[in-house]
Amino acid sequence: MPTLRFQPEADRYYAEGYWRDGDLWSDFARRAEENPQKPALILDDRVFTFDRLRRAAVGVSVRLAEGGVEPGDVVILLGRHSIEAAVAMLGCMHRGVVIAPLPPMFNEKQLSALIAQTDANALLGFGGDKELAKCRQVADQVPLFLAVAPELVDRLAEDGHPEEHVLRHGDDLAMVLHSSGTTSTPKGISHSNKTLRYATEGICKRWELTSEDVYLVVCEFGFVGGLVFGYFPPLFNGATGVLVNRWNAEAALRLIEAHQCTYVLSMPTHSADLIEAKVASGLELPSMRVLAAPGLTRERRLAMREAFGVSPLGDYGLSEVPGHAAHGLQEPEAKIALTEGRPYDGTEIRIVDDNEQAVPPNAVGSVIVNGPSRFLGFLGNDELTRESLTEWGGYRTGDLGYLDEDGQFVYVGRSKDIIRRGGVTIVPSEVEPVIMRHPNVREVAIVPLPDERLGERACAAVIPVEGKPAPLLEELQQFLDQEGVAKYTWPESVEVFDEFPRTPSLKVVKRDVVTQILERSRVTA
């Protein structure tokens, strides 16, 4: 198929069973047929069974068809985490269109740019007034705009609609993901039904998730973690998903208790909040058996293990290669504390030097990945696709890491996330976990500030623990000295923040942190 021209391993993925034909709607429809009255999604006092969800989705599909949207057209979805998000997404799958999901944080300018980039034929909006207002600002740039409001979804769920599903080939373009794009138009990251299915089934297999589990879904709609680890597992596994529309750690714990949730996925900011809320609440939460918490430092993993009595499982993935390494449930505690887990079956992670030659175990190098979840390419940009891939199909992630002697992956940091102080290179990801051990530090980001003589100096941007003062520079340096951290890597200034600027996937945007610090210095100068 034309969409596989950049994947030299395609034949192997077929032969070894990592890919199979059929589309994602067909997977969902089978679950709805098996258990039509089983709760599929729960949000507050709203409960949508698989049958109601199917009916509402088909109703959206009919609206798309009536609006002239054809199979293969691109449809942009923007809005908040909600039942309506799932209905809109499934409706697009039923119609056989290419879905371009966007988080609610994207602004009107970005939305307009992405409509042009994808040549979108429709825009579906959902969530609150703020999200719908953004969509209406650009609605005249697409042939069809549909506000997927709760009232519409409830009405569609009661109506009968013709089941004219447009079956798509498993290799066809099915979804275009977009990175955060905080300062420019994000790249369109193309995926097929097969790449997304493999990523979802891989994590369900690794974490032993079944139709009997109850999933707490907290990750925001529109980025890869919220889809592959949030919506997709319950919908395609025939399980029940409990949605958290507005983040509040204490409320999330109450939902786990009330619905007896067995699976919880939390991003780093969620995890920090959950640890504090769990200690304060005193809740036992015996139902929880799978706690996924990627991106944590060793210290925070240990704190989460102590708070919940369940080991927080790591995961490593990107929008370009979603979820391709993770811990298993029976992983030794030492591995869970230090690594991100093993590659999925069928996925290969190579660690290479500057000449892209393999390095030995435990040696840090550049991370290159290929597997059945690797993206098809960058939308409309074959040149960039070729530049990002090796001859063997591996994606150059831009990350640094290593494989230990057991083949477990350890993430070190972004290759570009370095500070060059004179002739010395400082790697923030080596110092940040140590600063996190300081009892007054809730979160830290070490960033480069410009220096006329040295080029750059390291600054520790710190969010202090609530009710405690942030450490002063001298105190922080003394702490690092006691922890045995080399002096040349110490931050040379400290800046205190209430919150950090973040991408839709909640990663700290360090360039924006630097901008805010420089603006502060100009104001006080």
Domain boundary among 168, 201, 220: 168
Quote the domain boundaries for residue 516: 419-524
**What pLDDT does residue 2 have?**
60
In this predicted model, what pLDDT tens digit does every residue of 349-401 receive, in sequence order? 999 998 999 999 999 899 999 999 999 999 999 999 999 999 999 999 988 89
CATH of the domain at 44: 3.40.50.980
State how far the alpha carbon of 335 is from the alpha carbons of 3, 44, 219, in Å.
Answer: 37, 37, 25
114/165 Cα distance (integer angstroms): 27
What is the per-residue pLDDT for 4?
87
User: Is 198 among the domain residues?
Assistant: no
**Where a domain ends, among 122, 148, 168?**
168
3-state secondary structure of 292: strand
Q: Could you say which of 168, 184, 217 is where a domain stops?
A: 168
**pLDDT-derived band at 455, boundaries 50, 70, 90:** confident
What distance in Å separates the CA atoms of residue 118 and residue 97, rounded to the nearest whole number? 12
Task: Kindly state the average pLDDT of the residues 281-306.
Answer: 90
Q: What is residue 252's predicted lDDT score, i.e. its pLDDT?
A: 96
Specify the pairing of strand 263-265 against strand 290-292: parallel
Lowest mean pLDDT among 25-34, 365-374, 380-389, 498-507: 498-507
pLDDT score of 24 more than 60: yes
Averaged over 4-16, what is the pLDDT?
94
Could you give the 3-state DSSP secondary structure of residue 431? helix
The pLDDT, as a whole number, for residue 190 is 96
Q: What is the model's pLDDT at position 182?
A: 38
The answer to whether residue 318 sits within a structural domain is: no
The three state secondary structure string of 323-387 is: CCEECCCCCCHHHHHHCCEEECCCCEEEEECCCCCECCCCCCEEEEEECCCCCCEECCCHHHHHH
Q: Are 89 and 241 in contact (CB under 8 A)?
A: no
Whether pLDDT at 181 is above 60: no
Distance of CA 240 to the CA centre of its chain: 20
Whether residue 65 is contained in a domain is answered as: yes
Phi-psi region of 346 (alpha: psi -120 to 50; beta: other; left: phi over 0): left
* pLDDT tops 80 at residue 44: yes
Burial category of 35 from C-beta neighbours within 10 Å (exposed 0-12, middle 13-18, buried 19 and up): middle
86 part of a folded domain = yes
The tens digit of pLDDT for each residue in 101-138 reads: 998 878 888 899 899 999 999 999 998 889 999 999 99
User: How far, in Å, CA of 112 to CA of 185, rounded?
Assistant: 10
Mean model confidence pLDDT for the chain: 91
All residues at 6 or more sequence positions from 273 whose CB lies less than 8 Å from its CB, including other chains: 247, 249
Domain presence at residue 296: no
Q: Domain for residue 275, yes or no?
A: no
Q: Residue 185: what pLDDT? A: 63
pLDDT the model gives residue 458: 94
The residues, any chain, with a CB within 8 Å of residue 465's CB and separated by 6 or more, are 439, 440, 441, 442
Instruction: Look at the chain and report how many structural domains it folds into.
Output: 2
CATH code assigned at 441? 3.30.300.30
Q: For residue 377, is it within any domain?
A: no
Gyration radius of the chain over CA positions: 23
Q: Residues, the chain, total?
A: 525
Q: Return d(Cα 443, Cα 498) in angstroms, integer.
A: 10
Q: Is 235 domain-assigned?
A: no
